[in-house]
Every structure is written in C-alpha cells, then in structure tokens.
Chains A and B, each alone.
Chain A
C-alpha cells in the first residue's frame, strides 16, 4: 500500500468515565483511495480498539455511518481523505445526543419516522389472488426521488430548525410522508396530515434548504417540505372557502 500519514481529531465520549466529550488525535497510515470510514477502521483494528462508531455497507446505501466531518454532515464511507487538507475533525452527527464516541442516540428520529406512517395505506386491502397494485412509470416518477431516502439523518444534523426546535418532525420524516402521499397506491394522506401539518410538522420549516444540500442521495427533502406546505395550504382554503369543506 502506498500510504500517507493522515491526522484525525476524533471526538471521544465514554459515558462511564467522561463528563463531557473530548478530542483524541490519531495519526493513521492511509491509502490514496481511502475514505474517512477506512481510516476509522484502521484506527480500530491497529491503534485503538476502544473507538466506537456505526457502519455497515461501506457503499452509501445503509445510512449508518453519518458523522460530522470538518463540521459538515457526511457519510464517512463517502468522504474521501484526499479531499481534505490538514487534520480532519470527526464528530458524531450534530443535533443528536452522543451515546458513546461517534455513536448518537437516534430514538427521536425513529419515533418521528413511525409517527408519519411511512408505509402504503391502501384504500382497501385487495385479496392476494387479485394480484399486485399496479402503477404506471409516470405514477412511479412522481414520488421516486423521495423514495431514495436511506434514513442517514444527515438532513437532521444540517437543519438549524431541528437544532433549535427539537420537537420539529424534521426533513426526512416529512419527505417520506410526502413520498407515500404521492404514491398512486396510497390513501393514507389524511392520517399523515394530522402529524405532518401540525405545529411541530411542516410549518416549523423556514426553508433554509440545508437538508437538501447535505443529502447524499439527492432526495431533496426541502422540495418535499415546500410541496407539503403548498398542498396543506390548498387544504386550508378548500376547508374554509368551499361548500362542505371541499370534501
């Protein structure tokens, strides 16, 4: 291996020994094609086996290895060392409590994800012998972009609204709700709107757009949220201006 020495400042936190996190410097021999996750794996294997972090696929699919790299939310398997100069600062994802070292507590996100019912709610369950729910390519394209979310939570780490108002449902959860609302096979929008159009829902978003800038899968959650605002506003006008509440 044609190695070069890379310095990483990694935030460490041991809940049994530390009152607060602190940085630890590692100097790691790295190959040119390595990503930050490779450097962390090298640290764990050869330098310090006590380092804790999450990862699985190493190919930007599983969404497990999100971290703050030089202050930017990134998948560490997607952050090439060659793109960084000097010491690389690695911290747990912002806006989430630190469980240990680079591992965050994701309970809040998981809870919010459940609340938006991110699954198909058909108008009626067809018997299996009647076959699958069919969809045209145009109907698929309507929501396809928003279905690419890998729940990596980078958008939550970038969102200042979520940082300041933790009750905010947040970008990924609302984008996923929108994904199912747009699906021609789904009829669950009314159920999701109770959560999505609430005070802690889409109206907490002031369209900073940071979520879309950091999204590693080009989901564009900011677009989903603005579309939800438009649709919710139309709902309001229908309810208040049309006879019978527009139903």
Chain B
C-alpha cells in the first residue's frame, strides 16, 4: 500500500475572511496602521515644536478643520478598539493565583481600565484640561 498524503493549499491572503474569529483578530491588528500614523503625526508635532513657537502654531493651524477632526476621530476609535481588545485578554497573560484559586479575570481587566482612567486624568490634569 503506497502513501501519497494530500496537502491542501492555504490562501496566504484570504484566510481571515473564512471565520468571524479571524476577522476579529484582523480588526485588532489593523489598528496598528492608524496608531502608527498618529505616532508619526506626534513626531512631526515634536519636530515643529523644537523649531519654535511660530513653527508649532503653523503646524496646529495646518491640522485644524473638519477633515482633520474626522481623521483624529477615526484614529481614536481604532486606538480605543486596540486598547479594549488587549485589556480584555490580559487575564490570559497574567493570571493571579491566590492559594488554590485564581482571581476571576474580570478583576484583572477592571484593574487595567482603572489604571487607564487614572493615567488619562493625570495627563489631562497636567495638560491643564481639567
């Protein structure tokens, strides 16, 4: 009896359309494009800031307007999706064992949200927004 195993080809590009769980994964991964773009924008802002007040003011003027606001809103939505999707899986990476029991994952997730809120408020405070 001869062996002739059959290997099924795997699509290198279309695999993530095959199941909702793969689409969920890609929706998380694709956020890096928007967050990367925003990081570049921040680098530009720092560069212009280092050139002085006038350069920074002109940079701020350049990114004003409804289209910029819309772009930043889209970035914010993707950033929040990135953050929440990672926060929600943190119990897998950092289980907390107390005696013979494990702390329920919801407390680990909640701790991340709590730190996020505190850090965000601190940033807003130092920026003079609150």
Contact = CB atoms under 8 A, between A and B. Distances in A.
A20 B9 CA distance: 12
Given A209-B25, A210-B22, A141 B100 contact: yes
Contacts of A98: 5-8
User: How big is the A interface, by class?
Assistant: 20 to 34
Interface stretch (A23-31, A55-63, A77-85, A220-228): A220-228
A33 interface: no
Contacts of B7: 97-98
Interface in B4-46: 4-8, 10, 12, 15-16, 18-19, 21-22, 25, 29
Given A138-B100, A209-B21, A223-B95, A16 B15 contact: no
Interface string A160-177: 100110000000000000
Interface stretch (B62-70, B71-79, B86-94): B86-94
A229 B94 CA distance: 11
B21 A230 contact: no
Contact of A16 (B1, B6, B16): B1
A160 B22 contact: yes
Nearest to A21: B6
Q: How large is the interface on B (under 10, 10 to 19, 20 to 34, 35 or more residues)?
A: 20 to 34
Interface in A185-222: 206-210, 212-213, 220, 222
A212 B16 CA distance: 17
Contacts of A223: 91-93, 95
A110 interface: no
A86 interface: no
Contacts of A21: 6
Contact of A227 (B16, B95, B99): B95
B97 A141 contact: yes
B8 A208 contact: no
Nearest to A136: B100
B16 to A, nearest CB: 7
Contact of A206 (B6, B29, B91): B29
A229 B92 CA distance: 11
B53 interface: no
B15 A220 contact: no
A230 B10 contact: no
B100 to A, nearest CB: 5
A44 interface: no
Interface in A74-98: 94-95, 97-98
26 contacts: A21-B6, A95-B10, A97-B7, A98-B6, A98-B7, A138-B97, A138-B100, A141-B100, A141-B101, A141-B102, A142-B97, A207-B89, A208-B22, A209-B25, A210-B19, A210-B21, A210-B25, A212-B92, A220-B92, A223-B92, A223-B93, A223-B95, A226-B89, A226-B92, A227-B94, A227-B95
Given A15-B3, A97-B7, 14 more contacts: A20-B6, A21-B6, A71-B19, A95-B10, A99-B5, A141-B101, A163-B10, A164-B12, A206-B25, A207-B89, A210-B19, A213-B21, A222-B92, A227-B94
Shortest 6 CB-CB contacts between residues of A and residues of B: A97-B5, A223-B92, A15-B4, A226-B93, A98-B6, A208-B25
Interface of A: 13, 15-16, 18, 20-21, 71, 94-95, 97-99, 105, 137-138, 141-142, 160, 163-164, 206-210, 212-213, 220, 222-223, 226-227, 229-230
